[in-house]
Amino acid sequence: MKINEHMLIWTSASVKLMDVRHATMTSGDEPLAYRLPANGFLFAIRGSAQITLDNVEYVVNSMFVLHGGKGMSLNIQLNQDRFEYYLILYKAGFLLPASPEIRSILAAGNPLQIQYGYAPL
């Protein structure tokens, strides 16, 4: 998806915050295996972990953002003594009637289900 289309979708969507979770994993904790109950962002803030989201692996250090869609499988394995993160779950929808441009983008697939991860500057 083109970044301009992605920005158009986000600025047109109605977003409902479902849950905000703060978690810390420490050495000795079992790896986390979790299915996302809603779309979500994982914000890594401290430490390092190996994260797999629907079979795509990310080596995550502090200050990393990961987005996943509802139903995706999230697995976190600790790389250091500690990994701290926030998980923000949300639902998004579009008020009708949506513009023809938004309907065209949505017809190609739900862009809010796209998986991506990056380290912000």
- Span 11-44, pLDDT tens digits: 888 899 999 999 999 998 999 999 999 999 999 9
Mean pLDDT, residues 82-95 = 92
21, 87 Cβ separation under 8 angstroms: yes
Mean pLDDT, residues 86-112 = 83
pLDDT in tens, 42-60: 999 999 999 999 999 999 9
Helix-strand-coil split of the chain, %, nearest 5: 15, 55, 25
CATH code of the domain made up of 3-115: 2.60.120.10
What is the distance between the alpha carbons of residues 117 and 53, in angstroms, rounded to a whole number? 10
What is the distance between the alpha carbons of residues 55 and 75, in angstroms, rounded to a whole number? 9
Alpha helices in the chain (DSSP H): 3-12, 100-107
Query: Is pTM, for the whole model, over 0.75?
Result: yes
